[in-house]
């Protein structure tokens, strides 16, 4: 059972409890970054769906439709990365405001195809709907399929006490720098899993504090991260609370993963990719998620990232 | 190239032209009821996505959330039927109005699972988002996976001049009788394709007139249907224009298919299912879609069903 971190996690855990999926037919069910379906023997496919709303995930009064549609693909691509899988194809459904027509659909298409081409994930279908009333906002939903990469999909529930906790890139301040244009770590995830055995992984979409709590809850581990080791982005450093920004801003879309010490040594020695990997702490069996400050203080790391239900 | 029947078909045809999909990797691409992805050898998976909006596809001031969510699954199940494929699993994404919480999510879940259980199509994941502003409407997007049934998926583009044109069930008046609760013809499609070789098929979602025009455009055939043979539902009979209702109401979610005369004879002899199959006309090489009235008049059948872009 998944620990109830916030209201979104609580209802997701409830859905997972209800689902009664056969682990044979569905190796991964509700509650991870993607679900996995076994089609035949060892052939499986993974699926993720993400809905993005004008005024929540982007703002069409400031951003272009091309950029919004591009982001909608990146979010799902980041889910593929989170499980170290290879994106295959996407379908996109849209709800158009009354005033939208062919011109806007071609802009949406442009954004989707830009990401599709960049990450070799084909657009293969979709659905077009239109609001009847005025004043209703643009919605775009991308569903993406991926296949296994170098190993079984890396799940949230495989962390072990003693694991080294790592993140890719830098955290915090995404809203001011890469709100609509970030790099889903598809390539990095495949490279990492080629080099080392990874025990748990997810992408940081709602903030390190909450997403680390999710890995710990699903893996039934505790964790302690060190404040001084967290790679804080330049954008976050400019904010009034840089550490808070790195812990809680969300939408970093970096990888958060854990692996055994010896595997980490191998990864460190062989890692040639330009995206940095930083050790931020260790999994433990304390049952708590804590943060250690430079002065030696240890506090509970409160999961205060983005709650989609709040 | 797909003929441009209305603005939705025109843009879909444009998307298909842009897609450049390899037929080997993607046996079916943009423009059919589902897309098909080849995963390995002869193992493929099919995918469809459908977005339903409050105030367009249902009305929460009159209908329950359970009923709306149930319908969202039926629509995708009908796409699985349209290609004679076997539903496997679905993911559902929702945009919640500000006031919605756990109670409403459980109602949505109830509707989805009701359909999932009935049609043996598991709910395996989803996404929860919430509007920030007040006054924004509920959105639900279902994406469904299916597998091949008794044959290759039946497409819209395989009709041949001389084919018998058939429909299941009765047409028209769905809004007053089965707007939120109809029977996607999953079972029927699998039974039909077990008995006979079907050349083309789709589900009637936007209305017989437009959906037949779509099959003809994609198959490069003409067609002539007979007004007197169209199975008009009791609900449509009560309207001021029963034939018009049967031709153009849409949301019938019945199967429209074509097959050779000899295959039809086999189907007719072996059909034991309670859902009726009715012959409504023939495919021809006229390049036109026409309707013949009881008095002998033949007129162009104007595709005047629902245009999602209008």
Residue B14 lies in a domain: no
Residue A310: is its pLDDT beyond 70? no
Claim to verify: residue B137 and residue B247 sit in the same structural domain: no
Whether B55 and A21 lie within 8 Å, measured CB to CB: no
B60 and chain A: CB distance < 8 Å anywhere?
no
pLDDT of residue A3: 47
Residue B220: is its pLDDT beyond 90? yes
B279 and chain A: CB distance < 8 Å anywhere?
no
Specify the range with the lowest mean pLDDT, choosing from A47-51, A177-181, B263-267: A177-181
Round the average pLDDT of chain A to a whole number and report it: 95
Claim to verify: residue A276 and residue A203 sit in the same structural domain: yes
Find the mean pLDDT for residues B106-134: 96
Whether B18 and A92 lie within 8 Å, measured CB to CB: no
Beta bridge partners of A96: A130
pLDDT of residue B181: 93
Residue A1: is its pLDDT beyond 80? no
Return residues 144-203 of B near A (CB < 8 Å). Answer: 145, 147
Whether B56 and A129 lie within 8 Å, measured CB to CB: yes
B72-90: per-residue pLDDT in tens? 999 999 999 999 999 999 9
Claim to verify: residue A133 and residue A196 sit in the same structural domain: no
Claim to verify: residue B143 and residue B240 sit in the same structural domain: no
- The pLDDT > 90 percentage for chain A reads 92
Specify the range with the lowest mean pLDDT, choosing from A106-115, A283-292, B4-13, B177-186: B4-13
* Token couple for A226: 């060190």
- Give the position of tokens 């906002």: A137
The model's confidence at residue B14, banded by pLDDT at 50, 70 and 90, is: very high
CATH number at residue A220: 3.90.650.10
A104 and chain B: CB distance < 8 Å anywhere?
no
Q: How many domains does chain B have?
A: 2
Whether B131 and A53 lie within 8 Å, measured CB to CB: yes
Determine the distance from the C-alpha atom of residue A37 to the mean position of all C-alpha atoms in its chain, rounded to a whole number.
20
Bridge-based pairing of strands A289-292 and A298-300 is: antiparallel
Find the mean pLDDT for residues B199-225: 97
DSSP annotation string for chain A: -----SHHHHHHHHHHHHH---TTT-SB-TTSSSEEEEEETTEEEEEEEEEEEBTTTB-TTTS-HHHHHHHHHHHHHHHHHHTTEEEEEEEEEEEE-TT--HHHHHHHHHHHHHHHHHTT-EEEEEEEEE-SSTTPPPEEEEEEEEEE-SSSPP-SS---TTPEEEEES-BS-HHHHSSS-----HHHHHHHHHHS--SEEEE-SS-HHHHHHHHHHHHT-EEEEEGGGS-B-HHHHTSS-HHHHHHH------EEEEE-HHHHHHHHHH---SS-EEEEEEEESSSSEEEE-TTS-EEE----S--TT-
Residue A256: is its pLDDT beyond 90? yes
Residue B234 lies in a domain: yes
Q: What is the CA radius of gyration of chain A?
A: 19
Residue B179: is its pLDDT beyond 60? yes
Number of inter-chain CB pairs under 8 A, A vs B: 216
- The pLDDT > 90 percentage for chain B reads 92
Report whether A284 contacts A272 (CB < 8 A): no
Claim to verify: residue A99 and residue A197 sit in the same structural domain: no
Claim to verify: residue A132 and residue A229 sit in the same structural domain: no
Q: Which chain A residues are Cβ-neighbours of B96 within 8 angstroms?
A: 309
- The pLDDT > 70 percentage for chain B reads 96
Residue B226 lies in a domain: yes
Claim to verify: residue A296 and residue A169 sit in the same structural domain: yes
Specify the range with the lowest mean pLDDT, choosing from A4-13, A205-214, B92-101, B228-237: A4-13
Rounded to a whole number of angstroms, the distance from the CA of A214 to the nearest CA of chain B is 16
Claim to verify: residue B288 and residue B180 sit in the same structural domain: yes
B288-307: per-residue pLDDT in tens? 999 999 999 999 998 876 65
Residue B132 lies in a domain: yes
Claim to verify: residue A74 and residue A120 sit in the same structural domain: yes
In the Cβ-directed half-sphere of B128, how many Cα atoms lie within 13 Å? 24
* Token couple for B259: 């097959």
Claim to verify: residue B112 and residue B196 sit in the same structural domain: no
pLDDT of residue B28: 97
Whether B105 and A52 lie within 8 Å, measured CB to CB: no
* Rounded Cα gap, residues B209 and A120, in angstroms: 38
Residue B64 lies in a domain: yes
The model's confidence at residue B134, banded by pLDDT at 50, 70 and 90, is: confident
Q: Which chain B residues are Cβ-neighbours of A102 within 8 angstroms?
A: 7, 10-11, 309
What global pTM score does this model have? 0.95
* Rounded Cα gap, residues A55 and B118, in angstroms: 37
Q: Which residue, B93, B117, B148, sits at the end of a domain?
A: B148
Which residue range is the domain that position B194 belongs to? 164-300
Whether B53 and A135 lie within 8 Å, measured CB to CB: no
Residue B26 lies in a domain: no
ipTM here:
0.95
Q: Which residue, B91, B122, B148, sits at the end of a domain?
A: B148
Residue A253: is its pLDDT beyond 70? yes
Round the average pLDDT of chain B to a whole number and report it: 95
Residue B48 lies in a domain: yes
Residue B2: is its pLDDT beyond 50? no
CATH number at residue B77: 3.30.1330.10
Return residues 61-100 of A near B (CB < 8 Å). Answer: 88-89, 91-96
Which DSSP letter does residue B232 get?
B
A39 and chain B: CB distance < 8 Å anywhere?
yes
Return residues 7-26 of A near B (CB < 8 Å). Answer: 7-8, 10-12, 14-15, 18-19, 21, 25-26
Claim to verify: residue A106 and residue A48 sit in the same structural domain: yes
Bridge-based pairing of strands B35-40 and B43-53 is: antiparallel
Q: Which of B141, B206, B307 to mutate to test the interface with A (most CBs of A within 10 A)?
A: B141
Q: Which residue, A124, A148, A172, sits at the end of a domain?
A: A148
For B117-140, b where at least 16 C-beta lie within 10 A, e where not — what string? eebebbbbbbbbbbbeeeebbbbb
Instruction: Write the residue in B35, B91, B129 that is nearest to A308 by C-beta.
Output: B129
Rounded to a whole number of angstroms, the distance from the CA of A125 to the nearest CA of chain B is 5
pLDDT of residue B310: 54
A111-153: per-residue pLDDT in tens? 999 999 999 999 999 999 999 987 899 999 999 999 999 999 9
Claim to verify: residue B106 and residue B48 sit in the same structural domain: yes
Residue A210 lies in a domain: yes
The model's confidence at residue A304, banded by pLDDT at 50, 70 and 90, is: confident
């Amino acid at each position: 059972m998944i620990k109830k971190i916030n209201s979104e996690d609580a209802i997701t855990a409830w859905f997972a409890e209800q689902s009664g999926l056969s682990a044979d037919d569905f190796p991964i069910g509700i509650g991870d970054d993607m679900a996995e379906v076994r089609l035949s023997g060892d052939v499986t496919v993974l699926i993720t769906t993400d809905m993005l709303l004008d005024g929540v995930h982007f703002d069409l009064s400031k951003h272009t439709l091309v950029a919004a549609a591009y982001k909608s693909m990146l979010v799902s691509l980041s889910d593929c990365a989170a499980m170290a899988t290879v994106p295959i194809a996407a379908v996109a459904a849209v709800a158009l405001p009354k005033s939208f027509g062919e011109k806007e659909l071609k802009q949406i298409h442009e954004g989707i195809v830009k990401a599709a081409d960049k990450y070799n994930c084909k657009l293969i279908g979709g659905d077009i709907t239109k609001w009847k009333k005025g004043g209703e906002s643009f919605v775009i939903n991308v569903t993406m399929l991926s296949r296994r990469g170098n190993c079984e999909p890396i799940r949230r529930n495989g962390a072990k006490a003693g694991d080294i906790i790592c993140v890719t890139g830098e955290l915090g301040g995404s809203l001011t720098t890469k709100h609509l244009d970030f790099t889903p770590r598809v390539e990095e995830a495949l490279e990492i899993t080629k080099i080392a055995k990874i025990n748990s992984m997810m992408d940081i979409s709602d903030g390190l504090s909450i997403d680390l709590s999710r890995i710990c809850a699903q893996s039934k581990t505790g964790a302690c991260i060190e404040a001084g080791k967290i790679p804080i982005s330049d954008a976050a450093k400019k904010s009034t609370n840089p550490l808070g920004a790195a812990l809680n801003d969300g939408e970093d879309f970096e990888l958060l993963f854990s692996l055994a010490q010896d595997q980490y040594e191998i990864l460190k020695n062989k890692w040639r990719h330009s995206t940095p990997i930083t050790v931020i702490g260790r999994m433990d069996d304390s049952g708590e998620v804590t943060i250690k400050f430079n002065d030696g203080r240890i506090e509970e790391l409160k999961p205060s990232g983005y709650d989609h239900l709040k």
